Amino acid sequence: TLSPDRRGALLGFGPVPATLFDGITVPPEYAADVLYPWGAPTGIAGAMPAFSPDASNSAADQTLQAGMHHDGMHFFALRQDGRRGLLVMNHEYTDERLLHTDGVAPWTAEKVRKSLHAMGVSVIEVERTAQGWRQVLPSRHARRIHGATPMRIAGPAAGTPWMQTAADASGRRVFGTFANCAMGVTPWGTYLTCEENFHGYFGGPKEAAADVTPEQRRYGTVPGTQWVEYWRFDERFDLSKHPNEAHRFGWVVEIDPFDPTSTPVKRTALGRKRQESATCTLTRDGRVAVYMGDDAAFEYIYKFVSRDRVHKGQDATARAANRTLLDEGTLYVARYDADGRGRWLELVHGRGGVDEASGFADQAQVVVHARLAADVVGATKMDRPEWIAVHPHTGEVYVTLTNNALRGAPGKPAADAANPRAPNLFGGILRWREDDGDAASLSFAWDHFVQAGDPALPDIGARYPQPDDDAFGSPDGLHFDSGGLLWIQTDMSGQAIGTGTHAALGNNQLLCADPASGRIRRFLVGPNGCEITGCVVTPDRRTLFVNVQHPGERRDNGTGALNSAWPDGTLPASTRPRSATVVVQRRDGGIVGT
Ligand code: FEO
Ligand code: CA
Ligand code: CA
Ligand code: CA
């Protein structure tokens, strides 16, 4: 008989071409259905406004509907047989031109509110029926958490001057979460949402840029460089007036999805960065380790290990017993050495040169400016670390390094062993094995699993584990299913897709890899202009949920015409393209990917 690993190695699904088709392409023996597009009611009883295709839903409506740009996601089973569960997902950012009937000419306070409400997290209930998966409407679990939802700040930075603002003298209460990208799940059944590109929402008058600190520059919170004009209508986003407000974003936020009245908590012990992924695993002695990326060129990979052991279980008792577990522990940052070995370097005030002499007064400052503390200890600057996944059987840790066009550019870091391509236009996946198989270890062995890109182009240095693997670029999302198959989601730049060195790679896609055999096969290709992200396979491995983010993001040069009408229409675009969740199942009900 075959072991689960060997069965997984078969990857026995039909071929999926690298296509530029404006729709979902899956193997012929699979079906893909759309669930919960932007604007769909979340399912809050008595408050389920329908989506208006002309984007005329109000800011208040948007607090009761799916946000924009679905990203990280997890399925929490509500029943033992897995037929009913909660889908919890991030809404990363907004496309203001699609969000408002008349775009942002002009910006208004109402548009700022709608935009804030279109980010954050959705908790929806889903159930599998004879006709397939459907959203339960209404559901007592349904919840929208968004850019104005009250939440708590915990850990070393809570209550310190760094976090105090005019609206919150306590430094312990913050309004909202946004820029929610990748995610994590704790062993006790809570959801971790990661605040990534928060800097783009803070701004101010250009002249104020002359006064920015080195710390603000490092985190990109510079007046005049904002992506949106929130600061003109909501003063807390004006860095020149409320510089501390930006310290309250860039965190891992813990949410109890089973209790819609619970208060989300920002866990500052895990460090502030452009937070991408918070992947949990247990150490040998039963503590929790959290692996984290920081998605910017030349930023770092982090690990947090809790001081205390996890109380076992995922029921309400266990969740209560673990409610402060992420507040006490040690934060580390990774160094990848040329000999294939690596070290976890602690970011602890008073140790390793992180002290008054290097500009750190206390641990609060270390976590608020974790990137600068990581500079002090000599961590390795990576090619945009995004998602991290832990193999369910071996404990090996895989991270996507999505790309870094600046590697080797004048004045920028050169190639190194862990980041060997300069420039790195296609990204790859690096992996490591913690010494003694223990996630608490301070040393590890690492190697590259794949260097992505088109192997037919000799100059770009693509390396695949097997000669007939399917090619892709810019891996971003990563998910291990319970059988040990690795699901890779790509985020190639919309401008590059289908052109030049990207011509053979098709639209952004989901691939399935078997780490044991090194086989990588394309499984799903998304519509035009999208990225594919937020993949999760149910515990029974018979359903795969995956998010299609920002279809139509790439517009035809000059004309501004949309290049996608997915999922509601066909090209030429007659409808607003919408991010949505896609449900994928084998038509025969079998295990996905095999
Ligand atoms: Fe939101 Fe780094 O992707
Ligand atoms: Ca991402
Ligand atoms: Ca993206
Ligand atoms: Ca990305």
| Tens-place pLDDT, residues 55-98 | 999 999 999 999 999 999 999 999 989 999 999 999 999 999 99
pLDDT band (50, 70, 90) for residue 435: very high
Considering only CA atoms, which residue is closest to atom 2 of ligand 1?
A: 295
CA 453 to the chain's CA centroid? 22
> pLDDT value at position 6?
42
Q: For residue 274, which ligand has an atom nearest its CA?
A: 1
Residue nearest to atom 3 of ligand 1 (CA): 181
Q: Are 402 and 384 in contact (CB under 8 A)?
A: yes
Given this model, what pLDDT does residue 242 score?
A: 98
The answer on pLDDT for 142 being more than 90 is yes
Give the pLDDT mean for 249-256.
98
Least confident stretch, 3-12, 53-62, 115-124: 3-12
Tell me the per-residue pLDDT of 393-430, one tens digit each, with 9 for 90 and over. Answer: 999 999 999 999 999 999 999 999 999 999 999 999 99
pLDDT class of 135 with cuts at 50, 70, 90: very high
* 468 DSSP assignment: T
What gap in Å lies between CA 149 and CA 42, rounded to an integer?
Answer: 16
Express each pLDDT in 545-572 by its tens digit.
999 999 998 766 556 788 999 999 998 8
Residue 8: is its pLDDT beyond 80? no
pLDDT at 280: 98
Ligand 3 centre from 492 Cα, in Å? 8
| CA atoms of 279 and 296, how far apart (whole Å) | 18
Q: Which ligand is nearest to the CA of 553?
A: 3
**pLDDT at position 513, please?**
97
Task: Average the pLDDT over 350-376 and give the result.
Answer: 98
- Going from the Cα of 588 to the center of ligand 1, the distance in angstroms, rounded, reads 34
The number of the ligand 1 atom at minimal distance from the alpha carbon of 196 is 1
Identify the residues whose C-beta falls under 6 Å from ligand 1.
Answer: 92, 181, 196, 276, 295, 386, 476
Q: Which of 496, 530, 507, 374 is nearest to 423 (CA)?
A: 496
Contact 119, 179 (CB under 8 A): yes
Which of 85-89, 127-131, 355-359, 573-577 shows the lowest per-residue confidence on average (mean pLDDT)?
A: 573-577
pLDDT tens string 570-592? 988 789 999 999 999 999 999 99
Give percent of the chain with pLDDT exceeding 90. Answer: 94
Strand partners, 447: 431
- In the reported structure, the alpha carbon of residue 399 is separated from the centroid of ligand 1 by a whole-number distance in angstroms of 13
Q: Please check whether residue 185 is in contact with residue 198, taking contact to mean a CB–CB distance below 8 angstroms.
A: no
CA distances from 443 to 219, 354, 515 (A): 28, 20, 22
At residue 7, the pLDDT reads 41
pLDDT single digits (tens) 198-249: 999 999 999 999 999 999 999 999 999 999 999 999 999 999 999 999 999 9
Q: How far is the CA of 161 from the centre of ligand 4 (A)?
A: 33
Hey, how many other C-beta atoms are within 10 angstroms of the C-beta on 314?
17
Stretch 314-329: mean pLDDT: 96
Q: Are 163 and 248 in contact (CB under 8 A)?
A: yes
CA distance linking residue 359 with residue 214, whole number of Å: 12
What pLDDT is stored for residue 1 in this prediction?
A: 35
Q: What is the DSSP string of 388-445?
A: EEE-TTT--EEEEE--BTTTTSTTS----SSS--SSBSS-EEEEEEEGGG-TT-SEEE
Check whether the bond before 17 is cis (ω within 30° of 0): no
